[in-house]
Amino acid sequence: MSDLAEENWRLIRDDPREGPLQMAVEEVAARTALEDDLRTVRVYSWEPSTLSLGYRQDPETVDWEYCERNGIDVTRRQTGGGGIYHDRDADISYTIVAPAAEVPGDLMACYELFCEPILEGLRRMGVDADFASAEQPSIYQPSCYLRDINPAHDVVAPASTGADAKKISGNAQYRQRDVVIQHGSISYDLESDHHVGVFDTDLETGAFDERVTSIRDEVGIDRDAAVDALATALAEWCGAEEGTWRSSEIEAARDLADRKFGSDAWIRDREVLEAEEH
């Protein structure tokens, strides 16, 4: 348990939601942390499956026809890095939201702190995971899982294989209204065709399989057990009580999803539509 357990936290085992709403609730949770003294950890999935673009990613790197043909939504994250294909069943995602004043100001130290429960959750599943022990060069820069591997925040498995370990989780942070928000994607299974197909590239799926591994490949446990192990580790790390979103939070998140994370203006050009006056 971390020192953060002295504060008020809730664990949300979130319902599957569309990508824009999943991004919007994080910003709403930032407001709740500051205004209501309630911090959030959560585990969640994406429905439908969604490609989340990095903040500065060029939309021309996306194969828009492939996404439409396969029913894959597209949104854009606040965090940088490459795009991530979040499969409805093959991806497990998490979020940690805490006031910036309560966590290390140094980015790498904050990553180390916030990844403690992620690594613990993977270990409880039986996965030999840790931060990467060595840098690895990029295979395809627009894809998060195929970018260069950085020991500061990329989690790999089996960790015991050193430089031969494969990426199993990508993590990123941003600050919103004096709150630190970290979110990450953990591969439960591999959907290599979609991970590569969502991008406008001739890259072969074999390149993805050589770089990325999954919980299922490593230990073979079922998805519900993996989600529970991660949620439990997150809750114990900060002493969180089981909780849910308030109806007012979901309402605010839906408005933000419409104006920002679900709009072409944001997805294509990083522009946010103004809120309507009532």
> Does the pLDDT of residue 215 top 50, yes or no?
yes
Percent of the chain clearing pLDDT 70 (strictly above):
98
Mean pLDDT of 19-33: 97
> Residue 275 has what pLDDT?
65
> Residue 1 has what pLDDT?
65
The angle, 0 to 180 degrees and rounded to 10, between the axes of the packed helices 223-238 and 116-125 is: 140
Mean pLDDT of 103-131: 96
Domains in the chain: ranges and CATH? 3-269 (3.30.930.10)
> Residue 278 has what pLDDT?
40
pLDDT digits (tens, 9 = 90+) for 78-108: 999 999 999 999 999 999 999 999 999 999 9
156 contacts 215 by C-beta, under 8 angstroms: no
Confidence of residue 274 (pLDDT cuts 50, 70, 90): confident
> Residue 277 has what pLDDT?
46
Closest C-alpha among 82, 46, 88 to residue 62? 82
- Give DSSP secondary structure letters for the chain: --GGGGS-EEEEEPPPB-HHHHHHHHHHHHHHHHHHS-EEEEEE-BSS-EEEEPTT--GGGB-HHHHHHTT-EEEE-SS-S-BEEE-TTTEEEEEEEEEGGGS-SSHHHHHHHHTHHHHHHHHHHT---EE-SS-B--S-TTBGGGS-B-TTT-EEESGGGGGG-EEEEEEEEEEETTEEEEEEEEESS--HHHHHHTBSS---HHHHHHHB--HHHHT---HHHHHHHHHHHHHHHHTPEE----HHHHHHHHHHIIIIITSHHHHHH---PPPPP-
pLDDT digits (tens, 9 = 90+) for 161-174: 999 999 999 999 99
> Residue 276 has what pLDDT?
58
Average pLDDT over the chain, rounded to whole? 95
Residue 2 vs residue 137, higher pLDDT: 137
